[in-house]
Amino acid sequence: MAAATMRKKAEELVEKAMKGNDASHDASHVWRVRDLAMSLAREEGLSSNSDSMEIWMPLDEACEECLARDPSEAKLVENFLDEEGVEETKKVKILNIINGMGFKDELSGQTLCGSLPEFGVVQDADRLDAIGAIGLNASLVFTLLLDRIARCFTFGGSRNRVLHDPEIKPRTELTKEQYMKKEEQTTINHFHEKLLKLKKLMKTEAGKRRAEKRHEFMEEFLKEFYVEWDGRA
């Protein structure tokens, strides 16, 4: 089947899987990750694989979202690849990348495909979206960052998390099981427990370069947040 046709079908699957999600995990997030991953791929010299990468990169997000809602949908992507007649070796590669993509999997040491360049590109793109200006937006931030800093606060709000509690300290060492206990997190602690760690976890040189600026952006935001929270601004 032509790549363009399969890509269209993959996009339709993503739209269906992400429909009704909050802005932290909607289809727009998927398209940002795809476009960013393609940009990283070009910088890393992987553009020759662009057709196949554009098809399966969004499937990662669709699969992750469906699994979060309903574990019975674990075969969402596998079924799609079977229906589209994707060869077995490529299918196994895609599924391995998807299954090892999450931050929680890295905490558990279960990532099996870290040496694959495609894996690094997609994972870096997903994490860059989490720590960029769009990824961190909130209406409560100070003037210099107004209309920035969105996915983190949107996600926290959708889970009814406490914004900040000085008595609840960030967990410095996390296992996969501890990380999955979302109710123990505050939104601000999520910066310390995950987002500020992502810069060091980038797999590609292109991802590392882009993460540097976004990391500094987060640090400046947190400094101002704590000043305002303490009434010192």
- 183-218 per-residue burial string, b: 16 or more CB within 10 A, e: under 16: eebbbbbbbbbbbbbbbeebbbebbeebbeebbebb
Query: Would you state the pLDDT for residue 138?
Result: 39
Separation CA 1–CA 84 (nearest Å)? 7
Residue 196 · residue 111 · CB < 8 Å: no
Q: Long-range CB contacts (< 8 A, 24+ apart) of 205-211?
A: 205/43, 205/44, 206/39, 206/40, 206/43, 206/44, 206/124, 207/40, 207/120, 207/121, 207/124, 207/125, 207/127, 207/128, 210/40, 210/128, 211/124, 211/127, 211/128, 211/131
| The pLDDT of residue 66 | 55
pLDDT digits (tens, 9 = 90+) for 125-169: 888 877 765 555 433 333 334 334 556 666 666 667 788 888 888
Would you say residue 230 has pLDDT above 50? Answer: yes
Output the pLDDT for position 218. 86
pLDDT at 209: 92
For 163-201, the pLDDT digits (tens) are 888 888 888 877 777 777 765 678 888 889 888 999 998
pLDDT at residue 208 above 90? yes
| Domains detected in the chain | 3-229 (1.10.3210.50)
